[in-house]
Structure 1
């Protein structure tokens, strides 16, 4: 089990105050890791950090930041290094989804999704890279999506952004491999996060999301933890540029 032990390692999780980000942060903490939880709201970050400290007894810090701002991402990386002595893991989980037909969406809608999902992932990765290079080790885990691999109507901003994350993951993996930095992605399917609550009981949600999975249901947040813990640990040291599906068999259909 030493392969999966994260004791003493430090992880940054953007979008870490709720949803899949918080679930993955809990997985890292359960394996012994310290975490920096990042979102726009300090109160939400602090509440999530308090929850992790009380449940797992590991170090946890909340940090309010905007992933689209370079200075915020650099300050985030510096805080983790100062508080925990290293930056071993980055999980890029911050993301948004704006749904709608292309002729009903605005350019601002498209730009907002691309800024957070793509630019935010790039800036956070850029901020930790010099630290990880100096350490000669690190793990960068990007949250892509099944919709980075297949299409779905009325999702042009989101699918474009997650497709970009998939290829960014591959390019960055090639760039950093010789520095002993692993860059991989998780492609979640339909998890019942706050982002998906608006379509939970709609015909679309029942037919095109839940009905399309092999298991016939939404994913439970805790079901993302295992793959995140795996990619953060030494068990995945030979993986570079991989995109792991956690989708209840949706893409298999």
Structure 2
């Protein structure tokens, strides 16, 4: 028998950037835990493929609603559609994100703005959009997907690290605003995970050797390693946990 503190059966979870990669894994984990899941990305066709795959795989209730999470008006309209399909959002997972690697002297204005919009503006826009309904109901969960780069930096990703550091402070600021209303806002920070988006890095023997040496657990993360923490942060078990960033990184941020 599952412990009731971890029960999210029937709760409506919206996962941004969930057509593939870690976002897809988040959606699958929430479905398997009993939530009604709404997938989101910009491309409707890819979302519908993922929706069909996850519905068949889990037997859960899953919807697909495409809209631009960096645009306030689009987010408001998208949430209206979500409410029509599934009901008001109980759990928001701000997963939409992108990476761009380049030395700082070669980093373009366009790449910088794209990272800002996708990695931090989207979380601000979506959290602002769901907050009124959560305040009215007196409960809600917002989980911001951070990174080991929330705390650490590597050459070539200064801009990415800046956006993920900002996401940590947005998490704390949202906690300051929303905790009094019974809403918990926390961050989940993955380490290095093997997905289709990181397949080239996994295939790079030198980089994989670095990951294995740098990570105390001695391996790349599997996306299934994220599910337990996500369900915890989405469930009543975390009702007095707020403004925190939980690192799921095999110990990388704990050791030199």
TM-score by length of 2: 0.94
- C-alpha contact (below 8 Å) 1:66/1:73 kept by paired residues: yes
Q: Which runs of 5+ in 2 are unaligned?
A: none
- C-alpha contact (below 8 Å) 2:127/2:142 kept by paired residues: yes
- C-alpha contact (below 8 Å) 2:104/2:158 kept by paired residues: yes
Out of 116, 126, 137, the position equivalent to 2:139 is 137
Q: Deviations for 1:93-144, whole angstroms, at most 9, x for unmatched residues?
A: 1100001110122111111111100001111111111111111110000001
Alignment match, 2:68: 66
Write the distance in 1 (CA, Å) between the matches of 2:182 and 2:245.
Answer: 18
Write the distance in 1 (CA, Å) between the matches of 2:36 and 2:90.
Answer: 10
The aligned runs of 1:89-100 (5 Å cut-off) are 89-100=91-102
Write the distance in 2 (CA, Å) between the matches of 1:149 and 1:76.
Answer: 32
The residue matched to 1:219 in structure 2 has which SS?
Answer: coil
Label 1:241 to 1:81 Cα distance change in 2 as closer, same or farther (>3 A). same
Alignment match, 1:232: 234
- C-alpha contact (below 8 Å) 2:65/2:82 kept by paired residues: no
Label 1:203 to 1:57 Cα distance change in 2 as closer, same or farther (>3 A). closer
Find out whether 1:251 has 2:245 as its counterpart.
no
Greater shift in the superposed pair: 196-205 or 17-26: 196-205
- Give runs of ≥4 in structure 1 deviating > 6 Å: none
- C-alpha contact (below 8 Å) 2:120/2:164 kept by paired residues: yes
Write the distance in 2 (CA, Å) between the matches of 1:244 and 1:2.
Answer: 22
When the two chains are superposed, the root-mean-square deviation of aligned CA atoms in Å is 1.4
TM-score by length of 1: 0.95
